[in-house]
């Protein structure tokens, strides 16, 4: 049985990226709209990762992928629950079916889906 790669905690990645950009904890906290104490606790893994909105803001400030950072925080971007609720059996079934595909396979599938959507309009 293959072992899943371990995921690095949000706070660890956040601290690394913030420091790579040369942004102080206080300045970054101000940019995000949180207290330096809260930000320090996130980075030290003393509190849960931030909300999806805060993770999005952090990603934008650091020039990172919003989707990746939201997922790293264990959250969903705001549009995904609505998409799932629109088709509550088909969308989860699709997600289960594509689980394990490579990034390249997923990109091809996405291109096919976009083409199908355009043909249907």
- Name every residue whose Cβ is closer than 8 Å to that of residue 74 and which is 6 or more positions away in sequence: 10, 48, 49
Look at residue 1 in the predicted model and tell me its pLDDT.
40
Spell out the domain ranges in the chain.
10-72, 79-119
Name the nearest CA neighbour of 56 among 46, 44, 64.
64
pLDDT score, position 6: 52
pLDDT of residue 14: 98
Closest by CA to 71, choosing from 56, 61, 82, is 56
pLDDT, residue 2, reads: 40
Residues of the chain with pLDDT under 50: 1-5
Yes or no: say if 81 and 75 are a contact pair by the CB < 8 Å rule: no
d(C-alpha 22, C-alpha 25), whole Å: 10
Q: How far apart are the first and last CA of the chain?
A: 44
Determine contact, residues 50/66, Cβ cutoff 8 Å. Answer: no
Contacts of 55 (CB under 8 A, 6+ apart): 10, 49, 66, 69, 70, 72, 73, 75
The DSSP secondary-structure symbol of 85 reads: H
The CATH homologous superfamily to which domain 10-72 belongs is lambda repressor-like DNA-binding domains (1.10.260.40)
Task: Give the chain's radius of gyration (CA, Å).
Answer: 18
**Looking at residue 121, what is its pLDDT?**
77
């Amino acid at each position: 049985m293959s072992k899943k790669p371990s995921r690095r905690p949000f706070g660890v990645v956040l601290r690394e990226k913030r420091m790579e950009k040369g942004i102080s904890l206080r300045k970054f906290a101000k940019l995000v709209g949180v207290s330096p104490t809260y930000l320090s606790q996130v980075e030290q893994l003393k509190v849960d990762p931030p909300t999806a909105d805060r993770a999005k803001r952090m990603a934008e400030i650091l020039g990172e992928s919003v989707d990746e950072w939201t997922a790293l925080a264990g959250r969903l971007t705001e549009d995904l629950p609505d998409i799932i609720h629109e088709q509550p059996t088909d969308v989860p079934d699709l997600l289960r079916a594509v689980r394990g595909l490579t990034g390249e396979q997923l990109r091809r599938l996405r291109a096919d889906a976009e083409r199908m959507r355009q043909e249907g309009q």
